C-alpha cells in the first residue's frame, strides 16, 4: 500500500498577511502581528500533517 504524503504550501504562497486580514477579527492587525499569527498557523498545520501521516495507513 502507498501512503499519501501531505506537503505544506510555501511560506510566501496563498496565505499571507493580506489574506489573514480579510477575516473578521483580524482586520486591524499590523503586518507584523498578522505574520506572527500566520507563522503559528503554519506550525500548527505542520504538527497536524505529521500526526496524520504517522497515524494514517
Q: Give the Cα separation of 24 and 40 in Å (integer).
A: 18
Q: Give the Cα separation of 41 and 48 in Å (integer).
A: 10
Question: What local confidence, expressed as pLDDT, does residue 1 receive?
Answer: 44
**6 pLDDT tier (thresholds 50, 70, 90):** low
How do residues 7-52 score in pLDDT, each as one tens digit? 555 555 678 999 999 999 999 999 999 999 999 999 999 999 999 9
> What's the pTM?
0.66
Handedness of CA 29, 35, 37, 38 (dihedral sign): positive
- Looking at per-residue confidence, does 28 or 55 come out higher? 28
Amino acid at each position: 500500500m502507498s501512503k499519501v504524503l501531505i506537503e505544506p504550501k510555501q511560506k510566501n504562497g496563498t496565505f499571507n498577511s493580506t489574506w489573514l486580514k480579510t477575516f473578521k477579527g483580524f482586520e486591524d492587525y499590523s503586518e507584523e502581528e498578522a505574520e506572527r499569527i500566520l507563522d503559528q498557523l503554519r506550525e500548527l498545520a505542520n504538527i497536524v500533517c505529521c500526526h496524520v501521516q504517522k497515524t494514517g495507513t
